[in-house]
Amino acid sequence: MVPPVARRHRARPVRWLGEHAVLLYAVLAFGYLFVPIGYTVAFSFNDAGKSNLVWRGFTLDNWRNPCGAPEVCTALRTSLEVGLLATVAATALGTMVAFALARHRFRGRTVTNLLIFLPMATPEVVLGASLLTMFLNVRVNPGFWTIVLAHVMFCISFVVVTVKARIASLDPTLEQAAMDLYADEWQTFRRVTLPLVAPGILAAALLAFALSFDDFIITNFNSGNVTTFPKFVYVSATRGIPPQANVVGTAMFLVALTVVLLGQLASARRRR
């Protein structure tokens, strides 16, 4: 028989693993998520030369000249332009759709709710090929504006879902109180409803921009000869993504992280 002391010693590691299983899982999950980001940040400082496949030494030249690689800044500018246009259009249209679905009862509302989710549920390769077929059937050559239209189409769904969730969480008594104080519908919307929904609209806009800037599959089908930043990275991958692309990726990550942190700080200040 195993002595009781030995059994207790054997049970300690098992007990420790049981008590810290969630923590260990979280560490592994975050490590899995952040290793590619760490690679991107590290290789933005790589003295790569013609190939950025292996580490050759530390340098700041890539950050001093982020446009050093051919076409990297042109592709970045195209992605930013497409992202901004798609975000503005999708946020405006999606917000109106969200208000209509959340605040009004009309014939076909259930079907509209279902249709909103179709672009989110459809595989991107199917969506991209279908859009390309549609553009070619109406004799529209793929290019910059077909990318914008495609991005607006699939971003609207995410905007509607995000803004609709924010509208559903509002306390209707606040709007009723404003009307009891002789505010008309427009004044109530401008001074009460819109400020309360604004965080949801901002979150939807940021999500739409991130989806647009990041998209490759639908863009690749409908871009023609126009090169966006994800398309540039894909084409460059065979010979090693240039370190300037890693610089752009790191900068975008830092910008997104800064926006999230500022939003959290603002929320914490409002709660206090």
The yes-or-no verdict on residue 169 having pLDDT over 60 is yes
Q: Which residue ranges form the domains of the chain, and what is each CATH number?
A: 70-241 (1.10.3720.10)
**Torsion (CA) 113, 115, 117, 120 in degrees, nearest 10:** -160
Q: Where are the alpha helices (DSSP H) in the chain?
A: 4-19, 21-43, 61-64, 72-103, 109-121, 124-137, 144-168, 172-180, 185-188, 194-214, 217-222, 229-236, 243-271
Is the entire prediction scored with pTM above 0.75?
yes
63-121 tens-digit pLDDT: 988 888 888 889 999 999 999 999 999 999 999 999 998 888 888 888 888 888 888 88
1-44 tens-digit pLDDT: 555 555 555 557 767 777 778 888 888 998 888 888 888 888 88
Give CA–CA dist 120/220, Å, rounded.
Answer: 18
Q: How confident is the model at residue 50 (pLDDT cuts 50, 70, 90)?
A: low
Q: What is the model's pLDDT at position 7?
A: 53
d(CA 251, CA 40): 10
Beta bridge partners of 46: 58
Burial zone of 57 (CB within 10 Å; 0-12 exposed, 13-18 middle, 19+ buried): exposed
**What would the pLDDT profile of 171-222 be if each residue is shown by its tens digit?**
878 777 887 777 778 888 888 888 889 889 998 999 999 999 999 999 999 9
